[in-house]
Amino acid sequence: MKNFSYYMPTRIFFGAGSVKKLSRAPLPAGRGLLITGGSSTTKLGYVDKVCAALAEAGHEMTVYRDVQPNPTIENVRECAAIAREQECTFVVGLGGGSSIDTAKAAAVMATNDGDWWDYVYGGSGKGQKIKNQPLPIVAITTTAGTGTEADPWTVVTNGEEKIGGGNDKTFPTLSIVDPDFMMTVPPHLTAYQGFDALFHACEGYLATIASPVSEMYSLKAIELIGKSLPRAVQDGSDAEARADVALANTLAGFVESLSSCTSEHAIEHAMSGFHPKLPHGAGLIMISLEYYKLFADVCADKFAHMAHALGRADGDFVAALAELQKQCGVDNLKMSDYGMENGDFGKYADHAFADMGGLFRVDAKQLTRDDVIGILSRSYR
């Protein structure tokens, strides 16, 4: 039996209508900064609902609405400056991983000197320790993909570097997982996000630092996604399917807290770092079949367990994954549609190792630069 540690300090309220819990949340008195992106959270009334619930608790809110789909260091700097200028006492990330990750990083920079990249490990980050406790972080997810409401990690883009960071200080204080806020996500984004959650669970299951606790969460998340993601894609109003995928996403966030993503995520971050319009989940789907084929020989038992969790009796995980992609209508995604070319694969491989090389170190077997280029080449369309 492996030794392991378990630390999950976030209080999570899960279920339909749980956003109302904000009115009784133990947050510090004063103004809060709500961070979101695009226009959907405003048009759908989510911003108003969150602000109303917090107003019941006596909090005035400032709203920042400019987070990018792949959040940038500029977003972090702007939000941190607002939090300091307005003396905010907590931050709220409302939306997908982009908004919540920006909120986490901004919460750090509101109370610490320097720049976010000073605290990032990998690439050109300086890898400094976060000295001061960040502002309390509230995560309210409107997507089921990143699991960031249940882990300390935050992914930010700085130029062509897209790097994850975080530590025990960047766990959310409080997270709301309300499937009612996910009912209008379009089918293709539901699929992309659901596969991101799936790969968090799969990678965390295969990682060399997996533990009995993380493995339990991994297999349950995989089971829920296999059961309900196709239904959520086909009918976004299916409340049971939405709740299943939302729970799978949160469980996969636990996996990220207790285990780790593997090099699949490092490779995709390099891809979308150079091509910001590439949705992260779509990039993962594009390379997934060729990626997992490389580990079938060294993870045979775990591959069979994952296949069974997806409902495939013969234990062929790669075939089960291909079938799930077909059921969700994402089996024909093309790298070329996002401007990727064969001649760039070496550059992506180099960035994957340089920017997030730590993820390669927890792979079940060590991949080389040529392996990464091969994955990309065989996946290319």
Which tens digits make up the pLDDT trace of 47-89?
999 999 999 999 999 999 999 988 999 999 999 999 999 999 9
1, pLDDT greater than 80: no
CA angle, residues 289, 72, 163, in degrees to nearest 5? 45
Residue 100 structural domain: 11-181
Strands 90-95 and 32-37: parallel
Q: Which domain-ending residue is among 147, 181, 215?
A: 181
Are residue 21 and residue 152 in the same domain, yes or no? yes
pLDDT category at 285 given cuts 50, 70, 90 is very high
Of 181, 200, 220, which closes a domain?
A: 181
Gyration radius from the chain CA atoms: 20
Asked if residue 238 belongs to a domain, the reply is: yes
Evaluate whether residue 1 is within a structural domain. Answer: no
User: What is the distance between the alpha carbons of residues 134 and 49, in angstroms, rounded to a whole number?
Assistant: 25
**Cβ burial, residue 304 (10 Å; 0-12/13-18/19+):** middle
> Same domain, yes or no, for 76 and 143?
yes
Q: Are residues 266 and 196 in the same domain?
A: yes
As a dihedral over the C-alpha atoms of residue 290, residue 154, residue 351, residue 274, rounded to 10 degrees, the angle is 90
CATH number reported for the structural domain that contains residue 191 in this entry: 1.20.1090.10
* pLDDT band, residue 5 (cuts 50/70/90): confident
Take residue 63 and report the two structure tokens written for it.
């709203």
Confidence class of residue 4 from pLDDT cuts 50, 70 and 90? confident
Which of 242, 246, 241, 98 is closest to 177 using CA atoms? 246
Distances (CA, A) of 235 to 194, 228, 328: 14, 10, 11
200, part of any domain? yes
- CA-wise closest residue to 294 among 220, 225, 377, 216: 377
Q: Examine residue 47 and state whether it is found in any structural domain, yes or no.
A: yes
pLDDT at 297 over 80: yes
- Token pair in block for residue 139: 């995560």
Predicted local confidence at residue 2, as pLDDT = 78
Domain presence at residue 6: no
Q: At what angle do helices 187-206 and 263-274 cross, to 10 degrees?
A: 140
Mean pLDDT of the chain, nearest integer = 96
Three-class secondary structure assignment of the chain: CCCCCCCCCCEEEECCCHHHHHHHCCCCCCCEEEEEECCHHHHCCHHHHHHHHHHHCCCCEEEEEEECCCCEHHHHHHHHHHHHHCCCCEEEEEECHHHHHHHHHHHHHCCCCCCHHHHCCCCCCCCCCCCCCCCCEEEEECCCCCCHHHCCCEEEEECCEEEEECCHHHCCCEEEECHHHHCCCCHHHHHHHHHHHHHHHHHHHHCCCCCHHHHHHHHHHHHHHHHHHHHHHHCCCCHHHHHHHHHHHHHHHHHHHHCCCCHHHHHHHHHHHHCCCCCHHHHHHHHHHHHHHCCCCCCHHHHHHHHHHCCCCCCCHHHHHHHHHHHCCCCCCCHHHHCCCHHHHHHHHHHHHHHHHHHHHHCCCCCCHHHHHHHHHHHCC
Residue 292 maps to a domain: yes
Q: Return the residue matching tokens 């949160």.
A: 250
Q: Are residues 18 and 115 in the same domain?
A: yes
CB atoms within 10 A of CB 65: 16
Query: For residue 3, is it within any domain?
Result: no
102-111 mean pLDDT: 98
**Model confidence at 184, in pLDDT bands (50, 70, 90)?**
very high
Q: Is the same domain home to 172 and 218?
A: no
Going by pLDDT thresholds of 50, 70 and 90, the confidence category of residue 38 is: confident
Q: What is the CATH number of the domain that holds 152?
A: 3.40.50.1970
**Same domain membership, residue 231 and residue 171:** no
Distance CA 141, CA 81 (A): 23
The answer to whether residue 98 is domain-embedded is: yes
**Which pLDDT score, from 0 to 100, does residue 39 have?**
80
Pair (244, 156) in one structural domain: no
Q: Clarify whether residues 124 and 206 are in a common domain.
A: no
Confidence of residue 3 (pLDDT cuts 50, 70, 90): confident
Angle value at C-alpha 10, between 9 and 16, nearest 5 degrees:
155
Query: What percentage of the chain exceeds 90 in pLDDT?
Result: 97
Tokens of 194: 């659901």
225 and 177 housed in the same domain: no
Under 8 Å between Cβ of 38 and 66 = no
In residues, how long is the chain?
381
Place of tokens 């109370």: 111
Domain edge (last residue) among 181, 203, 238: 181
Predicted confidence (pLDDT) per residue in 152-177, tens digit: 999 999 999 999 999 999 999 999 99
How far is Cα 334 from Cα 113, in angstroms, rounded to an integer? 42
- Closest residue by Cα to residue 84 from 46, 58, 111, 60: 111
Look up the pTM and report it. Answer: 0.95
Q: Are residues 164 and 254 in the same domain?
A: no
Question: What residues pair up with 35 in beta bridges, in sequence order?
Answer: 64, 93
Q: Are residues 137 and 219 in the same domain?
A: no
222 shares its domain with 253? yes
- Number of structural domains, the chain? 2
